[in-house]
Amino acid sequence: MFVTQISVFLENSPGRLAEFTKLLKDSNIDLVSLSIGDTTDFGIIRAVMSDTEKAMKVITEAGYTARLNDVLAAEVPDCPGGLDSVVQTLSASGISIEYLYSFVRSEGKNAVIIFRVQELEKGAAVLEKSGVHILTNEEVRSL
């Protein structure tokens, strides 16, 4: 029902991101989806990866602070208003969104939005009830 995401801490200094992406490349880890949020001092990379277990092992062994958590991956129509309808649904049910990021992997009509909400179970239930398809780990990784 939920998708596993990896969050990684990176300080904002020259070359740190390049070091990180090289680590993924050298370990043959594929990024399914990625977002980077940052302040002037540091950033948090949030990503869904092809092989979560292996990625987590490689990343923590390389000395990064990293964490796994669950997020919702919702399929929305790739057209104006597609994201709005999902956000409206969550908002109407009083579920607050901590952050979200999107990715388009296929040439199909649908986009996938990754949501981190406070009440995961409730969020998923509300969206499914409104007809939104919530993707599983397997589905996301096979996109």
Partner 1 sequence: MAIWNEKAENMDRDELRALQLEKLKKTVRTAYDHVALYRHKMDEAGVTPEDIGSLDDISKIPFTTKQDLREHYPFGLAAVPMRDIVRIHASSGTTGKPITACYTKKDLEMWAECIARVATAGGATADDIAQISFGYTLFTGAFGLHYGLEKIGCAIIPISSGNTERQLNIMKDFGTTVLIATPSYAMYMAEVAEKMGVMKDIHMKCGIFGAEASTEELRQELQRRWGCVVTENYGLTELLGPGVAGECMCRKGMHINEDYFYAEIIDPITGKVLPDGETGELVLTSLEREGQPSLRYRTRDITHIITEPCECGRTSHRIAKITGRSDDMLIIRGVNVFPSQIESVLLTMEGIGPNYEIVVTRHNYTDYLEVKVELIDAAMLDRFSDLENLQKKIVTALRTVVGIDIKVSLVSPSTLKRFEGKAKRVTDLR
Site residues (CB under 8 A) for partner 1? 7-11, 13, 16, 37, 39, 41-42, 44, 63-67, 69, 98, 116
Least spacing, CB of residue 16 vs partner 1, in Å: 8
Least spacing, CB of residue 110 vs partner 1, in Å: 28
Residue 31 vs 143, nearer CB to partner 1:
31
* Angle of helix 16-26 versus helix 52-61 axis, rounded to 10: 130
Alpha helices (H) along 10-93: 16-26, 52-61, 82-92
- The helix/strand/coil state of 139 is helix
Residue 41 vs 138, nearer CB to partner 1:
41
* Alpha-carbon dihedral sign for residues 101, 106, 107, 110: negative
Neighbour-count burial for 78-116, b at 16+ CB within 10 Å, e otherwise: beeebbeebeebbeebebebeebbbbeeeeeebbbbbbb
Residue 76 vs 95, nearer CB to partner 1:
95
Least spacing, CB of residue 113 vs partner 1, in Å: 18
Residue 45 vs 111, nearer CB to partner 1:
45
Least spacing, CB of residue 66 vs partner 1, in Å: 6
